[in-house]
């Protein structure tokens, strides 16, 4: 268990995206792997069920203050654009009980998945949380910085796609 904790602390730190990472932000060169082993926490759908949808993913840590503060906006976007065709999920690190506590405290109603094997974290080289992804039905994925302007850009991209 201490090795997992050390791994987690080494690769995921709570906070804003660093300057070095900004070159990757907004890039659509990422293709989402829907076969990553994730544990469903509050839904009967597997992660792969979202593969043909416009999908907003919030990668987070329930104990991260930035993740906690940002979740309300994620939920608002999901509530507003879900009926128009946007699917939304959160992928979280930590234990199932920690994630369930977060879901209850924040009255979360989007599907949550646990990255229990850190497969998502490793594949997408996540160093900081939260992370905002928009995955298009063809698998192309855009990563947005955790900032007000980037979230506005993501919402604009959602509106543009859904208006087609």
Structural domains in the chain, CATH included, are 24-162 (3.40.30.10)
Sign, Cα dihedral of 125, 96, 64, 152: positive
Could you give the C-alpha distances from 43 to 85, 112, 143, 163, in angstroms and in order? 18, 7, 24, 28
Evaluate if residue 6 carries a pLDDT over 90. no
Helix (H) or strand (E) holding 120: helix 119-123
- Identify the three-state secondary structure at position 55: strand
Average pLDDT over residues 13-22: 45
* Residue 164 pLDDT level (bands cut at 50, 70, 90): confident
Give the pLDDT confidence of 79-100 residue by residue, as tens digits. 999 999 999 999 999 999 999 9
- pLDDT for 13 equals 55
């Amino acid at each position: 268990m201490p090795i997992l904790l050390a791994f987690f602390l080494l690769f995921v730190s709570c906070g804003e995206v660093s300057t070095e990472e900004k070159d990757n932000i907004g890039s659509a060169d990422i293709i989402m792997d829907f076969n990553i082993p994730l544990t469903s926490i509050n839904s009967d759908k597997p992660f792969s069920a979202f593969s043909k949808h416009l999908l907003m993913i919030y990668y987070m840590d329930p104990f991260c203050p930035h993740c906690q503060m940002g979740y309300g906006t994620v939920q608002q976007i999901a509530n507003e654009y879900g009926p128009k065709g946007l699917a939304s999920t959160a992928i979280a690190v930590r234990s199932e009980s920690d994630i369930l506590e977060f879901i209850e405290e924040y009255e979360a109603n989007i599907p949550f998945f646990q990255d229990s094997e850190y497969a998502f974290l490793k594949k997408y080289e996540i160093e900081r949380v939260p992370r905002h992804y928009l995955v298009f039905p063809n698998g192309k994925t855009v990563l947005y910085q955790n900032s007000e302007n980037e979230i506005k850009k993501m919402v604009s991209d959602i509106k543009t796609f859904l208006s087609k």
